[in-house]
Amino acid sequence: MSRAARTRVRWNGEQVLGRARQGALRGLLLVAEHLLTESRKEVPIAEGTLERSGATSVDEANLVAGVTYGTPYAARVHENMSARHSPGRKAKCLEDSANSEAGAISELIAAQVRRALR
């Protein structure tokens, strides 16, 4: 009679999930910075105050990143499609940048998760 082979499996699920989460957080930070950079290329400029007010944030608990422009008039400028702006500048600069960079955003996060799991 032959003896059955024995195999031992060690589950490191918590460690793997922790690393994946750290990679996702790093990816979110990079994505927010990338989106801020891209939207600043199209943000309407009068005096530059709106452009300079751009900021990023990452909510680590909920794995959410944000890009904001912090002037009292930022939302109004963003939504006013009838306003005239300097060439290359426009309303919806943040929304349009998020849409056009969707592929890059996904890849940045995925790359950081892959890197963390190595």
CB atoms within 10 A of CB 4: 6
Q: What is the DSSP letter of 91?
A: T
Per-residue pLDDT of the chain (118 residues; tens, 9 = 90+): 677 889 998 889 999 999 999 999 999 999 999 999 999 999 999 899 999 999 999 999 999 999 999 999 999 999 999 999 999 999 999 999 999 999 999 999 999 999 999 9
Question: Does some domain include residue 61?
Answer: yes
Residue 106 lies in domain:
13-116
Residue 6 maps to a domain: no
What is the spatial distance between Cα 26 and Cα 48, in angstroms, rounded to a whole number? 29
How far out from the chain centre does Cα 91 lie? 20
* 1 within some domain: no
| Domain-located, residue 52 | yes
User: How many domains does the chain divide into?
Assistant: 1
- The answer to whether residue 8 is domain-embedded is no
The verdict on residue 2 lying in a domain is no
pLDDT computed for residue 1 by the predictor: 62
Q: For 95, how many CA atoms within 13 A lie in the half-sphere containing its CB?
A: 10
pTM attached to this predicted model: 0.86
Tell me if 18 is assigned to some domain: yes
| pLDDT on residue 109 | 97
Domain membership of residue 4 (yes or no) is no
Whole-angstrom Cα distance, residue 109 to residue 35?
A: 13
